[in-house]
Amino acid sequence: MRFTIISKNDEKSKKTRSYITNELEKRGMKEDKIKPEIIISIGGDGTLLGAFHMYQHLLTETMFVGVHTGNLGFYADFHPEESDLLIDLIDRREFVKTEFPLVHVKVHTDDGEENHLALNETTLKMVQGSTLAIDVGIGGKPFEKFRGDGICISTPSGSTAYNKSLGGALIHPSFQSIQLTEIASINNRVFRTIGSSIILPSHHTLNVYPNKNDTHLLTIDHLHFQLNGISSIEYKVAEETIKFARFRHFPFWHRVRESFISS
């Protein structure tokens, strides 16, 4: 099996990376940074997000597994002290593929069209922190006029991240959906929004129409883009999915409990 490892730059992660690399190569596996069959992320969720964006062009050909060396690793199944177990399981190919939905973001600007994929979430805000003013449509029909700090569109797995801190719902990754959550919306007798999160199925499309004369800040997970002349942005459940190699049963709600409730 061809593998590659993306690790955080701290000593614990680098030491774990070196050990796993050496042991996998001893078993006849080959490190391949160009077309890996499995990508091992060592660090936290930020490390896995970086690995996802580095290899998103290979989503149909590769899968991910996480080793947690940070403070919170929602996507990780293993700890460094379990490295030998992970190595054995990879060697024996004892895994099942689990697929999680992604958000597809299509941005129309004066310069053309650009497309992005987000694993956790994408947000739209103003660059200087001023009020974001957009028209929101669902399924090609007008829905509301939003005024506030911004909007967050998350995947089910990303619902536990920024979306949760905004008061959005937690959604099981088996649901093919995206979620729109407001960021400090203005609600008075002049401006009025729905005020709660909206969950859209895979056959629905969310459209936003900003002021083309404004400069906007678009985030895709940890990436930031400053854009001018945006005429519209389309959000929907992506046709692509991210595949995780699951070597043992680790239910979503157990992850939620371990991450946010258990001490």
If one counts every other C-beta atom within 10 angstroms of the C-beta of residue 135, the result is: 15
Q: 3-state DSSP call for residue 236? A: strand
Q: In percent, how much of the chain has pLDDT > 70?
A: 99
Return the pLDDT at 191. 81
Asked if 136 contacts 146 with a C-beta cutoff of 8 angstroms, the reply is: yes
215: left (phi over 0), alpha (psi -120 to 50) or beta: beta
Q: Which amino acid is at 142?
A: P
Query: Per the residue annotation, which of 32, 45, 110, 214 is the catalytic one?
Result: 45
Distance CA 246, CA 120 (A): 19
- For 192, half-sphere exposure in the C-beta direction (CA atoms, 13 angstrom radius) is 3
Return the pLDDT at 196. 95
Q: Considering Cα of 4, then 223, then 120, then 242, what sign does the dihedral take?
A: negative
Return the pLDDT at 129. 82
| Residue range 129-179, pLDDT digits in tens | 899 999 999 999 999 999 999 999 999 999 999 999 999 999 999 999 999
| Residue range 43-60, pLDDT digits in tens | 999 999 999 999 999 999
Distances (CA, A) of 103 to 1, 178, 200: 29, 7, 11
Give the residue carrying structure tokens 């690790």. Answer: 7
Whether the predicted pLDDT of 72 surpasses 70 = no
Token code pair at residue 260: 């946010």
Asked if 183 contacts 165 with a C-beta cutoff of 8 angstroms, the reply is: no
Smallest Cα–Cα separation from 16: which of 74, 93, 85, 72?
Answer: 85
Beta-bridge partner residues of 112: 109
Active site residue 45: yes
90-94, 114-118, 153-157: which range is least confident on average? 90-94
| Residue range 228-238, pLDDT digits in tens | 999 999 999 99
